[in-house]
């Protein structure tokens, strides 16, 4: 039996990483596209060379590493520039994900943490799509109060992503994260039982 492929997504500030951590603790193999996206543009990679060719050397720190804040300020304010960046990074991430996927055991529940799953129309790649959902107001509060973003920056990042409605349309499972971490843990436990049942694995 092949591993169960689960796509996990959610807008910025939704708490997707909290869900990912909890599913990992249950035994899921988590493949984090954000982490891989950083790896494919580390100094010395072809990915970083292509980013510099597209956006110029001003997106680099003095030590030659990528200045994510500078790049972010460019792409999150301009959808065409964001599309150009995704066009560089996304295929590289896909290739690395494929390598990790090949290494997963046959009975695994493999959770792919994919921030831009809806934006890149990737739902068909997964057996199950989980969307972590929270209102724009709650997400804005988290970004400004917990991450220290300015309200304008937070709103721009939310606007650059798919709408809540577009994400919910592709969801097989929705995890509403508008309460406490205990609430989230309980819901993650429920979802894990669902996933193991779908995968045909014992729930113990």
Contacts of the segment 123-128: beta carbons below 8 A, 24+ positions apart? 123/7, 123/170, 125/5, 125/7, 126/5, 126/6, 126/7, 127/4, 127/5, 127/6, 127/198, 128/4, 128/5, 128/6, 128/7, 128/172, 128/173, 128/195, 128/198
CA 106 – CA 11 distance, rounded (Å): 30
Q: Is residue 137 part of a domain?
A: yes
Q: Is residue 203 part of a domain?
A: no
Q: Is residue 191 part of a domain?
A: yes
Positive or negative torsion for Cα 45, 34, 63, 152: positive
User: What pLDDT sits at residue 54?
Assistant: 96
Q: Is 46 exposed, middle or buried (0-12, 13-18, 19+ CB in 10 A)?
A: exposed
- pTM greater than 0.85 (yes/no): no
User: What pLDDT sits at residue 33?
Assistant: 77
**What is the residue whose two structure tokens read 């997707």?**
16
Answer yes or no: is pLDDT of 97 > 90: no
Q: How far is CA 147 from the centre of its chain?
A: 17
pLDDT-derived band at 202 (thresholds 50, 70, 90) equals low
Query: By the 8 A CB rule, do 158 and 151 touch?
Result: no
Q: Is residue 119 part of a domain?
A: yes
CA 51 – CA 89 distance, rounded (Å): 8
Total domains present in the chain: 1
Query: CATH code at 149?
Result: 3.40.50.300
* Other CB atoms within 10 Å distance of the CB of residue 166: 13
Provide the H-helix boundaries in the chain. 16-26, 33-39, 46-55, 68-75, 79-103, 136-145, 151-160, 164-169, 181-199
Write the pLDDT tens digit of every residue in 159-186.
999 999 999 999 999 999 999 999 999 9
Q: Is residue 42 part of a domain?
A: yes
Q: Is residue 183 part of a domain?
A: yes
Write the pLDDT tens digit of every residue in 50-94.
999 999 999 999 999 999 999 999 998 899 999 999 999 999 998
Q: Is residue 34 part of a domain?
A: yes
Domain range for 131 is 4-198
């Amino acid at each position: 039996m092949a591993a169960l492929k689960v796509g996990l997504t959610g807008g910025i500030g939704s708490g997707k990483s909290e869900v990912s951590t909890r599913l990992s603790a249950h035994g899921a193999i988590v493949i984090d596209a954000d982490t891989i996206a950083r790896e494919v543009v580390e100094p010395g990679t072809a990915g970083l060379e292509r980013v510099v060719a597209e956006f110029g050397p001003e997106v680099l720190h003095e030590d030659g590493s990528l200045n994510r804040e500078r790049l972010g300020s460019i792409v999150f304010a301009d959808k065409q520039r964001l599309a150009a960046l995704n066009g560089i990074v996304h295929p590289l991430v896909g290739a690395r994900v494929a390598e990790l996927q090949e290494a997963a055991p046959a009975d695994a529940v493999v959770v792919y943490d994919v921030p831009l799953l809806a934006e890149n129309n990737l739902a068909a790649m997964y057996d199950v799509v989980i969307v972590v959902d929270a209102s724009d107001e709650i997400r804005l509060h988290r970004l400004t109060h917990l991450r220290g973003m300015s309200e304008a920056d937070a709103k721009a990042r939310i606007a650059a992503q798919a709408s809540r409605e577009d994400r919910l349309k592709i969801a097989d499972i929705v995890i509403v994260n508008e309460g406490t971490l205990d609430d989230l843990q309980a819901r993650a436990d429920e979802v894990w039982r669902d996933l193991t049942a779908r995968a045909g694995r014992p729930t113990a």
